[in-house]
Amino acid sequence: MPAVSMTVNGKAVTGDVEARTLLVQFLRENLRLTGTHVGCDTSQCGACVVHVNGKAAKSCTLLALTLEGADITTIEGLAEPNGPLHPMQEAFRQNHGLQCGYCTPGMIMSAIDIVRRKGNDLDEHTIREELEGNICRCTGYHNIVKSVAAGAKAMKGGPTRQAAE
């Protein structure tokens, strides 16, 4: 089986995988990082969104082997263990931006990517358009939109504000 090496949540990892292994399988099955979820098989739902080299990507639509040398961040890597939460995580909690929690990791990873691309002051229309790649069946999006707006504001001064503090 071919080998693949990448950095996941700041740690160098390697694995022998079948060529057909998707990034999400590598994360969930090889690395046991089960916070990244699979909700569909057509790249629609966004439950599997992670950051690849700092940009949001659907890990169900990427081959692990393609990501040789890449830098991956998953939901588990947003905050230090026992450290403060990432502001976007905290915003989802404060604004009840989740119910069953299944789409949540993908939502949060996508939300941080929206801030990267669109800045810290996001209007409702922008947020709704930019969430196109993420489906939530529980919340009706109302509180997700609020969470993203609040999280974006809280991220002012750097996406990992808490690390500087």
Partner 1 sequence: MYNFTFHRPTTVRQAAGLLAKNPDGKLLAGGHSLIPVMKQRLAQPSAIIDLSKVEGLAGVELKGRSVVVGAMTRHADVANSPVMQQALPGLAEVPGSIGDPQVRNWGTIGGSIANNDPNADYPAACLGLGATIITNKRKIAADDFFTGMFSTALEDGEIITKVSFPIAKKAAYVKFKHPASGFALVGVFVSKRGSDIRVAVTGAGANGVFRVKSFEEALKKRFAAKSLEGMTIPATGMNSDIHAGAEYRAHLVGVLARRAVAKATA
Partner 2 sequence: MSATGIGAAVRRKEDLRFITGKGQYTDDVIRPGETRAVFVRSPHARAKIKSIDVNEAKKMPGVVAVLTGAELANDKIGNLICGWMIHSKDGSPMKMAPHPALAATSVNHVGDAVAVVIAETKAQGRDAAEKVKVDYEPLPAVVDPGKAQGKGAPQIHEVAPNNTIYQWHLGDQKAVEAAFAQAKHVTRLDLINNRLVPNAIEPRAALAEYDSGTDQLTLWNTSQNPHVARLVIAAFVGMAPEHKLRVIAPDVGGGFGSKIFIYPEEVVCLWASRKVGRPVKWTAERSESFLTDAHGRDHVTHAELALDGNGKILALRAKTIANLGAYMSTFSSSVPTYLYGTLLSGQYDIPQIYCEVDAVYTNTVPVDAYRGAGRPEATFVVERLVEVAAREIGIEPAELRKRNFIKSFPHQTPVIMAYDAGDYNASLKKAMELADVKGIGKRKRESARNGKLRGIGYSTYIEACGIAPSQAVGSLGCGVGLWESAEVRVNPTGSVEVLTGTHAHGQGHETTFAQLVSERLGIPFENVSIVHGDTDKVQFGMGTYGSRSGAVGMSAIVKALDKIEAKAKKVAAHMLEAAEGDIEFKDGKFSVAGTDKTAAWGDVALNAYIAHKFAGQELEPGLKETSFYDPTNFTFPAGCHICEVEVDIETGNTEIVGWTAVDDFGTVINPMIVEGQVHGGIAQGVGQALLEGAVYDKDGQLVTGSLMDYTMPRAHNLPSFNVGLTETKSPSNPLGIKGCGEAGAIAAPAAVINAITDAIGSEQISMPATASAVWSALQRTPAARKAAE
Contact between 61 and partner 1 by CB under 8 A: the answer reads: yes
Task: From the list partner 2, partner 1, none, pick the one residue 65 interacts with, judged by a Cβ distance below 5 to 8 Å according to partner type.
Answer: partner 1
Contact pattern for partner 2 over residues 27 through 56, marking x by CB under 8 A: -x---xxxxxxxxxxx-xx-x---------
Binders of partner 2 in range 59-88 (CB under 8 A): 74-76, 78-79, 85
Contact between 139 and partner 2 by CB under 8 A: the answer reads: yes
CB of 116 to partner 2, least distance (A): 18
Q: According to CB under 8 A, which one of 128, 159, 160, 162 is a site residue for partner 2?
A: 128
CB of 18 to partner 1, least distance (A): 6
Contact between 11 and partner 2 by CB under 8 A: the answer reads: no
> What HEC string does the chain produce?
CCEEEEEECCEEEEEECCCCCEHHHHHHHHCCCCCCCCCCCCCCCCCCEEEECCEEEEHHHCEHHHHCCCEEECHHHCCCCCCCCCHHHHHHHHCCCCCCCCCHHHHHHHHHHHHHHHCCCCCHHHHHHHHHHCCCCCCCCHHHHHHHHHHHHHCCCCCCHHHHC
**Inter-residue contact 12 to 5 (CB < 8 Å):** yes
How deeply is 59 buried, as exposed, middle or buried, from its count of CB atoms within 10 A (0-12, 13-18, 19+)?
Answer: buried
Of 94 and 102, the one with the shorter C-beta distance to partner 1 is: 102
Binders of partner 1 in range 106-165 (CB under 8 A): 110, 113-114, 117, 130, 132-134
* Interacting residues with partner 2 (CB under 8 A): 18, 20, 28, 32-42, 44-45, 47, 74-76, 78-79, 85, 89-90, 92-94, 96, 98-105, 108, 124, 127-129, 131-132, 134-145
